[in-house]
Structure 1
């Protein structure tokens, strides 16, 4: 009898054993024997003296248990009956419940791997519940593509908007993870020539209350409520009905399909603020667990806001850093994603004094994490805090969205064109050349290279590429904010008519300007990012802040007119030529001659001089670029004037004087022109030293 009592006592003790780490809900944890029917539950709730967990033992049947252990703000315990598929949430121990469990908002688990959304009472705000999800999945032989940075071309896409109108995808799959993984879409992305799909936020997010009141939604998803849970609404109806496990599996199926096609998956992640919003909003998770520790405050207890969203997570707190790093590690290890783009990244790198630190503990933790090693890390390098602009200041191993590239390219091809058309002058080619050459002025000083520059002309926020050429002013009336939202500084040019036009000449000039922008983007050193739909001529009708437009305004329209078809073919051709000419772009500044060459010439085929670089009247530029490894070189010739211009292509003698073997570059074959009617000239050959006619406001690309 004594032995049986000892066994029973031992089993009871085993059920009580719990650990503070890992945080979240786990059926088994390293070093602790697994006890069938129980789960280790741990939550960082530094603002609470005690915590109890409420959970479903069966649909609609709720139980509760206190988390009996706590230390340093972490509350943990071993809980019986919390199985896979169970909804659960936390509540302050001893605090009266405002209703029956399931009828009010419990506090979510910051580490919850699934979130279930239920309608609120009387049409009020929805309720959210954490869900304990089985993580098992068979990845088979699928492997990450591991695309080198120098070969990377990023395609920024929205899971829903990418496929919702695609006629080749079954209707029940459109707008979903499964739609993104459909062979029609995968083949399109492969054929286009991109290497990496960057998805707008797919971590679980919620709609702001003011949007809900207006009947709108947060379409972009930059309002995260669960850093470990996928967005449920992007799954098929079938997966949603089957529950969070099926949603997880559909997401993983998407990643596996893209990987099998050689395409990387990057996630746009938002760790700078949460969906809890301003301090007057209800507690959903972190605010109820310990808002003083999770959010930044000033000396008077008010929220400090460096994001414009009302609440900023406090990355001077170790547990906040741990939560973000654990989340990144989870998406890499469990979902096999290849990297991340960090929204308002300086907010994650501010110390207790509120200032940006390029050696911030968050950056050090990411750099030293073995699970994250090899992941692509991309910063949106600005926020609205002190010293908010940090382009070029992130450490080696990171890449930055290059806003200077964006502004410079827009200025040269749009703002300057508007000034010239009005009888004024444009800028010199010097700034544009710096952007074409990889923005050494931004990145060389910090020991980084052109591959740290994510070159972009557009992104999800702002005008589309087509709208940059068709609108001088934003038109955001559909957002119900009286057109106050969105940027007023767009560096756009409507070519003389605001919005849609029946004037064929204006339409032709717009399309040509769009091709100029795309060509400059894809033939520059660095890592290009294309915004989904720009290759199709997509318009948002002048809306430059379509964050709340889950409508055809923001979805990709796959029915293309002649300009759209021309733009798509131009983009495909450019990406093919980029692989030819820039496949071995240099890793360092300045480029070693054996790696690559960048030679600059004027309209007469002579090397550029300091005087010509700074002359605003000098708006014709030739760039001979390529790699001695491939033996292929491209000659990019830009005519930023309003007149057709004779351009003398560099001859053998000039090339030899520049240190190049000129004998092998005496003939130039036209591969692409952005001019309106290039078909009869494509493929034509011009000898070095001879002149070719470059149409006004156009780019010609030759194979040397």
Structure 2
């Protein structure tokens, strides 16, 4: 909401996200209306509990931080309220924001950071019972699997109790619909499963997911922690797929490295693994997957499929850095291909805000304190890249309309998705048996071309209609002989009774 062209009055505030009827300078919807029009179901908001780095009592001083600096876990952040000095204001306005989202059919996911605290030795936990709430190394120092100076000990009864009661409070008092757990790999599996069971008693459909990794070594045994490779031990708590993310665009830590969508053919198997959402599939060669050499989830709903998020370079900036010699027109197609992969794969798709119209952070890799000039969403990009927005919106509509893209069981994924073998290098194709999962599209075929070469493919004289053709809505055109697939594109075909 903070951008000058957002058309939102209460910029940077809870109340701003609740405004309706807001538009950019060209009259296109922004804010809440934009999200509703896009068709997404859940809105993940970065931390809005009270954090250290922004002092709401000093609004005249330029301050900015994402908020991964916990202070008071059970208090809304005051800098997002119209009056940060008034406790009632932050409570009322947050509740009004959540109510506005719910009234428009959107669920609210809260980003929570129980893995560490700020201040360490002077933190409220350490003042209460020195040392108890944190893990320590063998020499008695604070361990640091979070790279923030400490890590909490979720396995200890009172820390476990605090996490559970805090989460229950946010659900009961503010009607939060889901939680994203920062560095979830720090937390123990027993606590995470307890949290899941208790939250589902009061909100059965709650969405839970987190980062299945850490930012350093932990003294707590890894087999007991909620790491990605042990996701199968979690009770319907999803983990982010860095296999798919980096398979598509290249490692987030190697800025010049490209991925499948930008011509790297040896990343195709990582993308195939992502398409089946980290499940076991007879046609995936796990030895060729970039990171995970075996399946790690019980069911496809245990995987978050994504291309970018607030961390690291956004997708457009990553493609700009990793594809010298290509034009922006080429990168637009690569970008659309990545959106197509995310929104046609199994698992839970996750989109970074603004990715639907080529958001950029001007090359900033870690913008946690970079201010509004970098982090603000430029709503003029929605006008400039209206074709990308329309394409993303159509992909979301298709996904929501067709259960074949949203299978719930690993057995379904293994039985009803068949990869097409023998395609040219850099091309992935697969067929979904839609009728087997109750879809009115009996068969679906997806082609993903990750190289700068057009491919002519035989359709074996079968009649197909196009839902998406070469990164554009296909308008249900009939095809029955050959299919020409353009460079760096996604195509989705279907057959129905």
Shorter-chain TM-score: which interval? 0.7 to 0.9
**CA distance 1:574–1:268, change in 2 (3 Å):** same
Q: Deviations over 1:145-204 (max 9, x none)?
A: xxxxxxxxxxxxxxxxxx111645443x11111111112432211110100001100110
Paired residues of 1:414 and 1:513 also in contact (CA < 8 A)? no
Shift of residue 392 of structure 1?
4.2
- Structure 2 residue aligned with 1:599: 418
1:235 corresponds, among 81, 98, 113, to 81
Shift, 1:347, TM fit:
1.5
Quote the residue 2:400 is aligned against: 579
Task: Give the alignment partner of residue 364 of structure 1, picking from 194, 201, 207.
Answer: 194
Correspondence 1:564 to 2:385: yes
In the alignment, structure 1 segments of 5+ residues that lack a partner are 1-162, 350-357, 472-492, 497-504, 602-607, 653-665
1:482 equivalent in structure 2: none
Does 2:438 correspond to 1:636? no
How big is the alpha-carbon RMSD for the aligned residues of Structure 1 and Structure 2? 3.0
**SS of corresponding position for 1:701:** strand
Matched, 1:463 2:313: yes
How many residues matched? Answer: 455
* Structure 2 counterpart SS, 1:622: strand
Question: What is the Cα deviation at residue 436 of structure 1?
Answer: 1.1
Contact 1:535 1:567 in 2 (8 A): yes
**Relative to structure 1, is the Cα distance of residues 372 and 314 closer, same or farther in structure 2, using a 3 angstrom cutoff?**
farther
Q: Which of 429, 434, 439 matches 1:627?
A: 434
Go from structure 1 to structure 2 and tell me whether the alpha carbon gap of 1:580 and 1:624 turns closer, same or farther (over 3 Å shift).
farther
Q: 1:312 to 1:620 in 2, by over 3 A?
A: closer
> TM-score, normalising length from structure 2?
0.83
Which has the larger helix fraction? 2
Give 1:426's match in structure 2, choosing from 253, 265, 270: 265
User: Which residue in the other structure is 1:385 paired with?
Assistant: 217
Q: 1:445 deviation in Å?
A: 6.0
Work out which of the two has the higher radius of gyration on C-alpha atoms and give 1 or 2: 1
Q: Give the direction of change, closer, same or farther, for the CA distance of 1:436–1:361 in structure 2 (3 Å limit).
A: closer
**Whole-angstrom CA distance in 2 between matches of 1:362 and 1:430:** 31
Query: Any conservation in 2 of the 1:266–1:337 contact (CA below 8 Å)?
Result: yes
SS at match of 2:407: coil
Q: Does 1:669 align with 2:466?
A: yes
Kindly state the Cα deviation for residue 589 of structure 1 after the two structures are TM-superposed.
Answer: 1.7
Q: Decide which of 188, 206, 209 is 1:375's aligned counterpart.
A: 206
Does residue 205 (structure 1) correspond to residue 51 (structure 2)? The answer is yes
Distance 1:246 1:650 in 2: 65
| Map of 2:358 onto structure 1 | 537
Aligned 1:253-652 pairs, distance under 5 A: 253-277=96-120, 279=121, 283-349=122-188, 358=189, 360-368=190-198, 370-371=201-202, 373-383=204-214, 384-386=216-218, 387=222, 390-394=227-231, 395-411=234-250, 415-416=258-259, 426-427=265-266, 429-441=268-280, 448-471=298-321, 493-496=322-325, 506-560=327-381, 564-582=385-403, 585-591=406-412, 597-601=416-420, 608=421, 612=422, 618-625=425-432, 627-628=434-435, 629-632=438-441, 633-652=443-462
Aligned-residue offset at 1:405 = 1.5
Q: What is aligned with 1:122?
A: none
Pairwise CA distance, 1:466: 1.0
Q: Which has the higher contact order (CA 8 A, sep 6+)?
A: 2
Change (3 A) 1:362 1:439: closer
Q: Which residue of 1 aligns with 2:27?
A: none
The 1-side partners of 2:248 and 2:262 are apart by: 15
| Helix, strand or coil at the partner of 1:429 | helix
Do the aligned residues in 2 keep the contact of 1:344 with 1:379 (CA within 8 Å)?
yes
Native 8 Å contact 2:337 2:489 kept in 1: yes
Aligned partner of 1:76 in structure 2 is: none
TM-score (norm: length of structure 1): 0.60
The answer to whether the aligner puts 1:252 opposite 2:79 as a matched pair is no
Residue of structure 2 equivalent to 1:179: 16
- 1:666-688: per-residue Cα shift (whole Å, max 9, x none)? 232353422xxx68x7553211x
Q: Which residue is 2:37 aligned to?
A: 191
In the aligned structure 2, how far is the partner of 1:167 from the partner of 1:367?
43
Looking at structure 2, the residues matched to 626 and 572 of structure 1 have their Cα atoms a distance apart, in angstroms, of 24
What residue in structure 2 maps to residue 62 of structure 1?
A: none
Alpha-carbon distance, 1:218 to partner: 5.2
Q: Which residue of 2 aligns with 1:164?
A: 2
The CA deviation at 1:572 is 0.6
- CA distance in 2 between counterparts of 1:440 and 1:258 reads 33
SS of residue paired to 1:621: strand
**Partner Cα separation in structure 1 for residue 261 and residue 79 of structure 2:** 43
For 2:371 and 2:353, the matched residues in 1 are separated by 15
Q: Which moved more, 1:398-407 or 1:579-588?
A: 579-588
> What displacement does 1:389 show?
8.4
Corresponding residue SS for 1:590: helix
